[in-house]
Amino acid sequence: MDRDYAEPLDVPALARAAHMSPGHFSRSFRAAFGETPYSYLMTRRIERAKALLRRGDLSVTEVCCAVGCTSLGSFSSRFTELVGESPSAYRARRHEEGAAVPACVAKIFTRPVRNAEPVGAAEPVGNGEPVGNGEPVGNGEPVRNGEAQRAARP
């Protein structure tokens, strides 16, 4: 996925390559990487799109196609969700301050992260210890950061 991010990848094809069923592959992938295969792929595509947009010689549509997205609307929505600004606004902004930083280092600090679903945000908690805002949760329900805590069920 990291190397072939611009190719039309889907879970059944990836699962076949890994000799797994699609469901098992998706569950194993999420357990290992903390996000779904599709979300991981889109993050890689957005990372590459950011690099192409910083160069400034391609239009947003050209960048969308170059990273393997087929819908400009979906690309723009996901880019805005992960980066916090539209692809056009990102392209128009100055990027000279990071030009001296090696790409391998910049990639670590500029990796898009979805605010709505941090890694490990849906881990079951069943030991009654305080979570999030300090309220104890002892019913084994998944707890998501930022959401209201559910009361324990009888």
What pLDDT is attached to residue 103?
A: 63
pLDDT category at 79 given cuts 50, 70, 90 is very high
What pLDDT is attached to residue 3?
A: 85
CATH assignment of 11-109, among 3.40.50.720, 3.40.1190.10, 3.30.428.10, 1.10.10.60: 1.10.10.60
What is the pTM assigned to this prediction? 0.62
SS3 91: helix
Mean pLDDT of 112-129: 48
pLDDT category at 48 given cuts 50, 70, 90 is very high
Contact 49, 63 (CB under 8 A): yes
What pLDDT is attached to residue 61?
A: 94
- Tens-digit pLDDT profile for residues 90-120: 998 887 765 556 666 666 666 666 654 444 4
pLDDT at residue 151 is higher than 70: no
What pLDDT is attached to residue 114?
A: 61
Locate the domains of the chain by residue range. Answer: 11-109, 120-154
Mean pLDDT of 59-71: 93
- Tens-digit pLDDT profile for residues 12-30: 989 998 999 999 999 999 9
pLDDT at residue 8 is higher than 50: yes
Measure the CA angle with vertex 76, ends 71 and 79; round to 5°: 125
Name the phi and psi angles at 13, rounded to 5: -65, -45
